């Protein structure tokens, strides 16, 4: 209630003398001018940043050039993405995984001279080559691999070589 009385008295003082009304209006106008000046300076700073480096050129022309640059960049990016996809697709056909397992094929031969070698592409297709080394003779076998598996029975060494090649691709 006291605050209301104080406000009533202040309004009474202002209304009593016309000069007080002018002072209040002047203070309000000054505050309004300060707020507008602050907002205008923010807009001018933004405008100057936008035109930084542009000397006497038409803003519409400058923005048009930027739009053209962006469009060219987007086209180049799309072309690069297509190129990367094509290279990736082609790379799936190339040799990507190699697995080698050395072992003793026969009890009387040491030194792990026998081996299984798996050569696979990115799709898990390729072959496994097995060499069995013996004192009297050596044999070499090749088995096709499709999707990481073979239609032929694989020895445990061949399976290990294929798994190594699949991990490395």
Cβ(167)–Cβ(96) under 8 Å? no
Read off the pLDDT of residues 105-118 as tens digits, 9 standing for 90 and up.
888 788 899 999 99
Q: Write out pLDDT tens, residues 31-46.
A: 999 999 999 999 988 8
Q: Are residues 83 and 99 in the same domain?
A: no
For residues 113 and 164, membership in a common domain is answered with yes
Q: What is the pLDDT, as a whole number, of residue 57?
A: 67
Q: Do 100 and 130 meet the contact criterion of CB atoms below 8 Å apart?
A: no
Tell me how long the chain is.
Answer: 169
- The count of domains in the chain is 3
Residues 62-106 pLDDT 10s: 788 889 999 999 999 999 999 999 999 998 889 999 999 999 988
User: Do 27 and 82 have their domain in common?
Assistant: no
Same domain, 99 and 164: yes
Question: Are both 113 and 63 inside the same structural domain?
Answer: no
pLDDT (0 to 100) of residue 53: 65
Phi, psi of 141 (to 5 degrees): -125, 150
Please give the model's pTM, rounded to 2 decimal places: 0.55
> Are 113 and 135 members of one domain?
yes
Rounded to 5 degrees, what angle do the CA atoms 104, 137, 109 make?
30
DSSP labels for 4-20?
HHHHHHHHHHHHH-HHH
Tell me: do 105 and 140 sit in the same domain.
Answer: yes
Cα separation of the two ends of the chain: 84
CA pair distance 53, 44, nearest whole angstrom = 15
Last residue of a domain, one of 35, 68, 89: 89
Listed residue (95, 132, 93) closest to 116, CA to CA: 132
25 and 41 share one domain: yes
The domain of 162 spans 95-168
DSSP state of 158: H
- With pLDDT > 70 as the criterion, what percentage of the chain qualifies? 93
101 and 152, same domain (yes or no): yes
Do 130 and 156 have their domain in common? yes
Report the Cα 79 to chain-centroid distance in Å. Answer: 17
Which one of 64, 89, 114 terminates a domain? 89
């Amino acid at each position: 209630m006291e605050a209301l009385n104080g406000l009533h008295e202040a309004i009474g003082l202002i209304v009593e003398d016309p000069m007080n009304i002018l002072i209040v209006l002047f203070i309000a106008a000054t505050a309004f001018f300060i707020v507008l000046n602050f907002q205008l300076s923010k807009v001018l700073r933004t405008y100057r940043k936008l035109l930084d480096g542009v000397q006497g050129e038409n803003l519409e022309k400058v923005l048009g050039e930027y739009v053209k640059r962006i469009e060219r960049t987007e086209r180049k990016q799309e072309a690069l993405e297509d190129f990367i996809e094509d290279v990736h697709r082609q790379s799936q056909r190339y040799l990507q995984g190699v697995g080698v397992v050395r072992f003793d094929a026969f009890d009387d031969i040491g030194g792990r001279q026998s081996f299984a070698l798996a050569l696979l592409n990115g799709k898990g297709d390729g072959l496994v080559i097995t060499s069995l080394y013996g004192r009297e003779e050596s044999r070499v076998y090749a088995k096709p691999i499709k999707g990481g598996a073979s239609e032929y029975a694989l020895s445990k060494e061949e399976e290990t070589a294929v798994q190594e090649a699949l991990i490395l691709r």
